[in-house]
Amino acid sequence: DVKVTQSSRYLVKRTGEKVFLECVQDMDHENMFWYRQDPGLGLRLIYFSYDVKMKEKGDIPEGYSVSREKKERFSLILESASTNQTSMYLCASRKGNTGELFFGEGSRLTVL
């Protein structure tokens, strides 16, 4: 079974702090994604990566950056957290351009 693991299920940070969200997948998938999920807005794509060191902006990249130094690991970085970044963050991976997304359990971030 594909496993996508996110480092933290729950985080509480203060405004201005730097936040790292880590995601690891164990099935050698080329594509990895970071989404945020908010009530009434659904899943919105922040960034995705289709190869090591390669990344593309999604629909809402402002305030975020990403890092993909190894194929299995995709990190989401909030350089200076703000309260409007309080959300559920979901990592996903996918093999090639077909097939389903496999999601991690999610990281619920609260920024105070």
Partner 1 sequence: GQNIDQPTEMTATEGAIVQINCTYQTSGFNGLFWYQQHAGEAPTFLSYNVLDGLEEKGRFSSFLSRSKGYSYLLLKELQMKDSASYLCAVIPSGSARQLTFGSGTQLTVLP
Residues at the contact surface with partner 1, assessed by CB under 8 A: 4, 31, 33, 35, 40-45, 48, 50, 58, 90, 94, 97-106
The total of other beta-carbon atoms located within 10 Å of residue 72's CB is: 17
Amino acid letter, 103: F
> Residue 40 has what DSSP assignment?
T
Q: Find the shortest distance in angstroms from Cβ 22 to partner 1.
A: 16
Minimum separation from the CB atom of position 25 to partner 1 (A): 13
Q: Which is nearer to partner 1, 17 or 50 (CB)?
A: 50
Nearest to 89 by CA among 58, 50, 68, 53: 58
Instruction: Provide the minimum distance between the beta carbon of 78 and partner 1 in the complex, in angstroms, as a whole number.
Output: 21
Q: Which C-beta is closer to partner 1: that of 1 or that of 62?
A: 1
Sign of CA dihedral 83, 57, 44, 37: negative
